[in-house]
Amino acid sequence: MTASVTAGAARAGGAGLELARMLASFAWVFGATAVAIAALGALPGWITGDAGVVRRAATIEDAERRLGARVLVPGYFPSRLDWPPAEIRVAGGRHGSVHLALAARDGGPGVEVFQATGDDEPVAPQLLEDRTVLRSTRTALGSVPATISDVLVRGHPARELSWILHGRAMVLRSAGDVDELFRMARSAHREGGR
Amino acid sequence: MGPDGTKWAEIAAQAVFHTLVASLFVEALVRSWRVREPRQRMALRLVALGYPLVLFPALVLLFPARAGEDFRDGWALLAGVRWDEVRLLGVGLFRWWLGALVAAGVALFLLDLLPLLAARRRPAPVPCTPDEASAAALGDALPPLAAALGVRPPPVIFLDRVQPVLFCTGVRRHAIVISRGAVALLDPGELRAALAHELAHLARHDPAASWVVMGARALMAFNPAFQVLSRAIARDAEWLADERAALACGDRLALASGLIKLHRATAGGVPVRRTLPFAAALAGPLERARSLDVEVRCRRLLEGPPAPLPWGAARVALAAASLTALLFFVV
């Protein structure tokens, strides 16, 4: 009786040890595979650096998730412009910059919103694209200093209004009415989105 | 490339990468668990082989959201297309490695297909009536071995040639092809063991399985991991046939000795036309001087029968479930 109990206990102990060995080996292989895959997935970002990459975002929320920051949009939104933005692009990884392209409903000139989400950071230059600044003039948005510039973007003339809002660099660009740019700029706030 | 073309290229790339991960994962499990029993090894490797044929299409069809940008950025452990952001000579690395892997897959497939096609062009061996001694040797050996392996004694196609030839054939009508040279080369014990090996293949319907695997390989010609895995499973099938033969004939040493003799006598010789795709991949040692394969098989025979590990089915289920869960996050 005692011998059979001892043999049974030994068998159970052996089975338990084998089970533990099996699970430990499995955990090691699974973990190593997952880490290797994750490293391979992260490698392109490490090589290129997220800063150099411009990516499209499907929605404002998507852009905010990628940037890890809220995107500010103007409170005043002309009814001639279409919402949601026709194109949303982000660059610079976490706390990088965002570009919202707002198309006009009537086929007229649209408005582009650029902003850096990191404090004291400029808007990522790869979002502003290849533009030539022809002339810059100092101006003000209430008590906030701003700059209005005549620019050439891909050979087309446009106006850019740039200023700092709560430490963030903001740029509004349009080939249309400059007053509209000022009205939008004055209305920009943190809780925006429509 | 249009949007549809890009979508299919991404799916093909995913299939290739998933199979690669699945095969490496399963190989790591086989080694870390020290799986030595050939049935268990085959079962685990079949998980990886079946992955691109069953589990991967299910993932693509059942979870279309995996293809979305949100999933790529927010959930995926690895998104293959991100490698396109790394450029080499103006082309994204994603396209480079996809091209390289597809080329490797096609090359591996052709490596076995072309010899098969070439073999089918050679004239089929002409069977003849065996001489008295050969007929007696075969008549003594085959029926008891067939009974031991649970198959009907198959017809023997006897070739009157000095070069040793011994293989099994036939998807529905099984047969064993053997030459006068093989009967003369092997002693009675070795002949029994070698015949038992071929009968073990027939008992498991390996000739039919070889065509199924070849068809799957053609379907997955772009997938190098699939090609390598199918070869590994073919080697497992050889090992399993060795084990069953050794059990049936009761003489592991004779089987090892017969293998070495046949390998030595056929290495570098002109191959006889074979009618099975496995003939290239499975019975390679006889045709292509795969000395290492023969050495490994002999060593295994000398080491004794491998014991199966406990919880074999649970291990296979664990491997399949964990692979599916892991690869869900690879797009």
CA distance B111 to chain A (A): 30
pLDDT at B71 over 90: no
Do residues B107 and B134 both lie within one domain? no
**Residue A44 and residue B76: Cβ atoms within 8 Å?**
no
Q: Give CA–CA dist B47/B65, Å, rounded.
A: 25
Nearest CA in chain B to A57: B69
What pLDDT, on the 0 to 100 scale, is given for residue A194? 38
**B83 contacts chain A (CB < 8 A):** yes
Query: If DSSP codes are grouped into helix, strand and coil, which group holds residue A73?
Result: strand
Helices (H), chain A: 2-48, 60-67, 125-128, 178-187
**B322 contacts chain A (CB < 8 A):** yes
When CB atoms are compared, the residue of A22, A44, A66 closest to B315 is: A22
pLDDT digits 0-9 by tens, B218-268: 999 999 999 999 999 999 999 999 999 999 999 999 999 999 999 888 765
pLDDT digits 0-9 by tens, B92-119: 888 898 999 999 999 999 988 988 888 8
Find residues 124-153 of chain B whose CB sits inside 8 Å of chain A: none
A-chain residues near B310 (CB < 8 A): 15, 18
Q: Give CA–CA dist B232/B108, Å, rounded.
A: 13
**Residue A29 and residue B29: Cβ atoms within 8 Å?**
yes
User: Is the CB of residue B218 less than 8 Å from the CB of residue B268?
Assistant: no
Do residues B112 and B152 both lie within one domain? no
Do residues B133 and B82 both lie within one domain? no
**B328 contacts chain A (CB < 8 A):** no
Do residues B238 and B220 both lie within one domain? yes
Do residues B281 and B318 both lie within one domain? no
Peptide bond before residue A84 is cis, with ω within 30 degrees of 0? yes
When CB atoms are compared, the residue of A22, A34, A48 closest to B33 is: A22
Identity of residue B285: P
Do residues B221 and B116 both lie within one domain? no
Phi, psi of A150 (to 5 degrees): -90, 125
| Tokens representing residue A108 in the block | 């007229």
When CB atoms are compared, the residue of B24, B33, B85 closest to A25 is: B33
Do residues B216 and B149 both lie within one domain? yes
Do residues B52 and B106 both lie within one domain? yes
Do residues B171 and B242 both lie within one domain? yes
Do residues B288 and B173 both lie within one domain? yes
pLDDT at B285 over 50: no
Query: Looking at A36-40, A175-179, B141-145, B152-156, which range is the least confident one?
Result: A175-179
- Host domain of residue B284: 127-303
Do residues B154 and B22 both lie within one domain? no
**A1 contacts chain B (CB < 8 A):** no
* Total tally of structural domains belonging to chain B: 2
B-chain residues near A28 (CB < 8 A): 32
CA distance A9 to chain B (A): 17
CATH (residue range A50-189): 3.40.1000
Q: How many CB pairs under 8 A join A and B?
A: 70
**B18 contacts chain A (CB < 8 A):** no
**Residue A33 and residue B311: Cβ atoms within 8 Å?**
no
**Residue A41 and residue B77: Cβ atoms within 8 Å?**
yes
For position B279, which CATH number holds?
A: 3.30.2010.10
Higher confidence at residue B120 or residue A159?
A159
Q: What is the pLDDT along chain A (194 residues), one digit of tens a residue?
A: 555 656 666 666 778 898 999 999 999 999 999 999 999 998 887 887 665 678 888 788 888 877 888 888 888 888 888 888 888 998 887 788 999 998 988 888 899 999 999 888 888 888 887 788 899 899 888 888 999 999 988 888 999 999 998 888 999 999 988 888 998 888 875 444 33
Output the CA–CA distances (angstroms, integers) from residue A143 to A115, A124, A139, A177, in the order listed: 20, 26, 10, 22
Identity of residue A103: A
Entry pTM: 0.71
Output the CA–CA distances (angstroms, integers) from residue A187 to A150, B50, B284, in the order listed: 22, 59, 78
User: Is the CB of residue B108 less than 8 Å from the CB of residue B20?
Assistant: no
ipTM over 0.85: no
* Domain ranges for chain A: 1-48, 50-189
Q: Give CA–CA dist A194/A185, Å, rounded.
A: 16
Higher confidence at residue B2 or residue B234?
B234
Do residues B256 and B112 both lie within one domain? no
pLDDT averaged over every residue in chain B? 88
**A48 contacts chain B (CB < 8 A):** yes
Q: Give CA–CA dist B218/A78, Å, rounded.
A: 60
When CB atoms are compared, the residue of A18, A37, A62 closest to B310 is: A18
